[in-house]
Amino acid sequence: MPKIVLEGLVKRYGAFEVLHGIDLEMEADEFTVFVGPSGCGKSTTLRMIAGLESVTEGEIYIDGKPVSHLEPKARDLAMVFQDYALYPHMNVAKNMSFALRLQRRPKAEIDAKIADVAETLGLTQFLHRKPGELSGGQRQRVAMGRALTRDSGTFLFDEPLSNLDAKLRGQMRAELALMSQRVKKNMIYVTHDQIEAMTLADRIVVMNGGYIQQQGSPEELFKKPVNKFVAGFLGMPPMNFLDGEVAEKAGEIYVEGQDFSVKLSREKADAIRAHSGRKVTLGIRPSDLVYSPDAADEQSLLLNIVVSEYVGAQTVLLCECGGQKIDVELKSDIPIDRNRQLRFAINPEGVHLFDQDTEAAL
Amino acid sequence: MSIANKANRLTPYVFMAPAAIILTVALLYPICYMIYASFLDWSPSQRIGEADFVGLRNYANLLQDAAFRESFWVTIKFAAVVVTLEMIIGVGLALLLDRNIKGMSTLRTIFILPMMIAPIVVGLMWRYMYHPTVGIFNRTLKSWGFEGIPWLSDSNWSFVAVVMADVWQWTPFIFILSLAAMQSLPRSALEAAEIDGATEMQKIFFIKLPLMLPVLIVTLMLRLIDAFKVLEVIMVLTNGGPGLSTEIVALRIFRTAQEFQELGEAAAMSNTLLMVLMALTIGMFMYNKMQENRAVRMKAAASKGAV
Ligand SMILES: Nc1ncnc2c1ncn2[C@@H]1O[C@H](COP(=O)(O)OP(=O)(O)OP(=O)(O)O)[C@@H](O)[C@H]1O
Ligand SMILES: [Mg+2]
């Protein structure tokens, strides 16, 4: 429900600074997903919002009220922990109803709620087991259930689906998506999973090394990454990067490198014309390369196929171009021989350029 | 091949044999000796072979002996009171001091000092503190304008006095064990409880204490067994008096053997005490076994469970 604002959030453990000034506004009822490599500070940020870690500098506002001095229980939130954090001595039903029992809700209401949540999570038959008698995935679902029985305004999830198998994960993802549409809640969600991030998020926050790299809608981040890190982090298989140099020939702008020379579209060219001679990185997503034997040299890449990975409807070709690695994604029904040179046309919309030194998008 | 095999399998037993034999003899011999002695009418001037065999008469005498029954009752009262107090204070202190304060480790070391002092010394020390005129307690009371308390000469106060000394000496034992148990509690479960809206008190009663329970029960058993055998401190403080008010069984046994020269009777008393302790020990053992079985069952269930 509430609007949550992080303002210049800094976290230090002793002299070691983990978060370096996080500024973020999460609108009411928004589904925010934090992504980033391991150790970048996602859990720390989440735990600071929850009130489990102290705030070194900066402030957290929930509905305009500074809360960094408040106890977790005064912040009206539920949380799913990365390591489950179940109560080892209570059975599943007791684990999930702990908060409600503390609130002295009527027993009938508690029972109904537990039955309902257990049903959704497929835990009905385990209600009387203790956490020690459950598998990792089952425990994770109990942790999820414990949060879902609460009706707090904000839900914090720290990699809640990481231990489930692919099928169950898909089911739970759909369940979450449904829930976030149905109930008016704030969800803040940490994950490593691209698909979870892309499908669930209203807002994705990409973090790296204790900084926010970029935040915005999934589409915004996918189409207009602000730097090479974000571009390489979102999308599977990841974006290809080719080092080259900006060159101007007869009024047209090219990016030239070992074994390739790509002509830029008019608008891209206008944006970069001033930078002639500059070292840049050309970024192209594997899905923006199209097998096309007759494409013009300046709008295509000639690639040496090294390995072909069959993944069902799609095939990923691991290729090489002038000593640089490059992946291509294409329909499996296109017949491809290995150890051959093939020509792939570049989707002109899919060309990204980054400065080689600053890695910022141009 | 098969002979070599057999020899190989026997080797460990051969190596263990001397230790096992010595242990058996050292443990069983005195116990058997004591059990045998409890069926004799035996005074220290006789050799054991010369003593008359009297069957269960020593035990029958014990049942009739009001003094023994009294001392048995005193022992049970003493053990129950001290262990209860020590558990409450020890666990309470641990709950209070389970946090990262500077100098905590020094404080903890100071806390366990009483446990390291020899019981005789503890007894002597407390006897001076209880001294009716120069002891610290009565001096303090008098300086505040109260009457002095007849610590060791009144039959009610003397019980209080020995309880206080024992609590002082043994609370640290419980404190240390519960502190260790508390520090190995899963931090994240406590964090989850915080998020679930538990107050400090609720965290203690619903999370911390239940999770510490296995350790607390073993601690309680150990203390109980020890409290039944307490001797030195009480011997030095009151020597069982006044009257029989603080005469615990161990002291009674000591006096039966030393003063009354009734070795057989003393052995019978020892056996009775031994049986009580045995019952406690077996209780503790069974509790451990139960826990282990439970853990095994849990593991089995967990590995069987799908997804
Ligand atoms: N108590 C602590 N003391 C010192 N450093 C810590 C402490 N807790 C976390 N860190 C450091 O803070 C950084 C961020 O940790 P955090 O748990 O937030 O990472 P994360 O993004 O959640 O990673 P993952 O995806 O692996 O869960 C890490 O480099 C970690 O080593
Ligand atoms: Mg984490």
Reported as a single tens digit per residue, the pLDDT across A176-229 is 888 888 878 899 999 988 888 999 999 999 999 999 999 999 999 999 999 999
Distance between CA atoms of residues A265 and A350, nearest Å: 10
Task: Kindly provide the ipTM of the predicted complex, given to two decimals.
Answer: 0.83
The number of the ligand nearest the C-alpha atom of A38 reads 1
Residue B110 distance to chain A (closest CA, Å): 29
Instruction: Residue A79: list chain B partners with CB under 8 A.
Output: 192, 195
**What is the C-alpha to C-alpha distance for residues A26 and A3, in angstroms, rounded to an integer?**
6
Token pair listed for A210? 């204790």
Residue B175 tokens read as 């404190």
Identify the band that residue A338 occupies on the pLDDT scale cut at 50, 70 and 90.
Answer: low
Q: How sure is the predictor about A339, in pLDDT bands with cuts at 50, 70 and 90? A: low
Pocket of ligand 1 (CB under 6 A): A 13, 16, 18, 36, 38-44, 82
Distance, in Å, from the CA atom of B56 to the CA atom of B62, rounded to the nearest integer, reads 10
Take atom 14 of ligand 1 and give the residue whose Cα is closest.
A41
**B264: closest CA among B25, B46, B24?**
B46
What distance in Å separates the CA atoms of residue A220 and residue A238, rounded to the nearest whole number? 16
pLDDT digits 0-9 by tens, A4-41: 999 999 999 989 999 999 999 999 889 999 999 999 99
Residue nearest atom 29 in ligand 1 by C-alpha distance: A39
Residue A114 confidence (pLDDT): 94
Contacts of A157 (CB under 8 A, 6+ apart): A79, A80, A144, A147, A187, A188, A189, A190, A191
pLDDT in tens, A68-104: 999 998 999 999 998 889 999 999 999 999 999 999 9
Q: How near does any CA of chain A get to the CA of B305, in Å?
A: 6
B116, part of any domain: yes
Contacts of B211 in chain A (CB under 8 A): 88-89
Query: What span, in angstroms and rounded, lies between the C-alpha atoms of B164 and B205?
Result: 27
Write the pLDDT tens digit of every residue in B79-110. Answer: 999 999 999 999 999 998 887 777 777 887 88
Per-residue pLDDT tens digits for A255-286: 888 888 888 888 888 888 877 888 899 999 99
CA distance A122 to A146: 13
Contact A275, A317 (CB under 8 A): no
pLDDT above 50: residue A249: yes
Region of B125 please: left (phi>0), alpha (psi -120 to 50) or beta. alpha
Order of strands, sheet of A289-291, starting from the edge strand that comes earlier in the sequence: A289-291, A341-346, A300-311, A314-321, A324-331
- The residues of chain A that CATH labels 2.40.50.140 are 240-355
The answer to whether A330 and A315 are in contact (CB under 8 A) is yes
When CB atoms are compared, the residue of B207, B210, B301 closest to A133 is: B301
Flag whether residue B201 sits within 8 Å of chain A, measured between CB atoms.
no
Q: Does residue B38 lie within any of the structural domains?
A: no
Q: What is the pLDDT of residue B306?
A: 42
**Is A70 an interface residue toward B (CB < 8 Å)?**
no
Q: Is residue B23 part of a domain?
A: no
Q: Is B205 on the interface with A (CB under 8 A)?
A: no
Q: Give chain B's residues under pLDDT 70.
A: 1, 298-299, 301-307
State the residue range of the domain holding B293.
Answer: 60-304
pTM as predicted: 0.80
B240 in any annotated domain: yes
Q: What are phi and psi of A244, to 5 degrees?
A: -160, -160
Beta-carbon neighbour count of residue A232 at 10 Å?
A: 16
- Closest of A21, A9, A108, A1 to residue A51, by C-alpha: A9
Closest Cα of chain B to A243: distance in Å?
A: 45
Residue type, position A3, single letter: K
Total count of domains within chain B: 1
Residue B91 distance to chain A (closest CA, Å): 19
A146 by DSSP, 3-state: which?
A: helix
Whether B22 maps to a domain, the answer reads no
Task: Write out the H or E segment, with its range, that includes residue B267.
Answer: helix B263-304
Q: Which residue has the tokens 């949540």?
A: A117
CA distances to B44, B233, B251 from B68, in Å:
21, 20, 11
Mean pLDDT of A46-64: 93
Q: Is residue A211 within 8 Å of A49, Cβ to Cβ? A: no
Q: Is the pLDDT of residue A143 over 80?
A: yes
Among B215, B257, B280, B193, which residue's Cα sits nearest to residue A99?
B193
- Cα dist from B214 to B112, B220, B288, B289, whole Å: 22, 10, 8, 12
Q: Which CATH architecture has domain A240-355?
A: Beta Barrel (2.40)
pLDDT score recorded for residue A112: 94
Q: Which whole number is the average pLDDT over A238-249?
A: 90
Q: Ligand 2 mean position to A158 CA, how many Å?
A: 7
In a domain, B44, yes or no: no
Judge whether B245 lies within some domain: yes
Residue A54's pLDDT is: 93
Helix (H, G, I), strand (E, B) or coil at B198: coil
From residue A246, alpha-carbon distances to A129, A324, A356, B218 in Å are: 64, 18, 11, 76
Sign, CA torsion A13/A14/A18/A23? positive
Q: Which CATH number goes with the domain that contains B68?
A: 1.10.3720.10
A71 contacts in chain B (CB < 8 Å) = 194
Q: How many CB atoms are located within 10 Å of the residue A23 CB?
A: 12
B108-152, pLDDT tens digit by residue? 788 888 888 888 888 899 988 988 888 888 888 888 888 878 888
Q: Which atom of ligand 1 is nearest to the CA of A192?
A: 25
**A85 CB near a chain B CB, below 8 Å?**
yes
Q: How far apart are CA A344 and CA A296, in angstroms?
A: 10
Contact B307/A138, CB-based, under 8 Å?
yes
B-chain residue closest to A82, CA distance: B188
A323 confidence band (pLDDT: 50, 70, 90): confident
What CA–CA distances, in Å, run from B204 to A46, B95, B98?
Answer: 25, 8, 12
Angle, nearest 10°, between helix axes A166-182 and A136-148?
Answer: 0
Q: Which fold has domain A4-233?
A: Rossmann fold (3.40.50)
Which residue do the tokens 């992080």 mark? A6
pLDDT value, residue A20: 94
Q: Are A85 and B191 in contact (CB under 8 A)?
A: yes
Across chain A, what does the average pLDDT equal?
Answer: 89
Q: What is the dihedral of CA A94, A98, A102, A106, to 10 degrees?
A: -60
Cα gap A280→A260, rounded to integer Å: 14
Residue whose Cα lies nearest atom 30 of ligand 1: it is A39
pLDDT at A120: 87
CB-based contact A164 B197, cutoff 8 Å: no
Would strands A57-62 and A4-13 be described as parallel, antiparallel, or unpaired?
Answer: antiparallel
Residue B259, both tokens: 């003063």
In a domain, B251, yes or no: yes
User: Which pLDDT tens digit goes with each residue over A155-168?
Assistant: 999 998 888 888 88
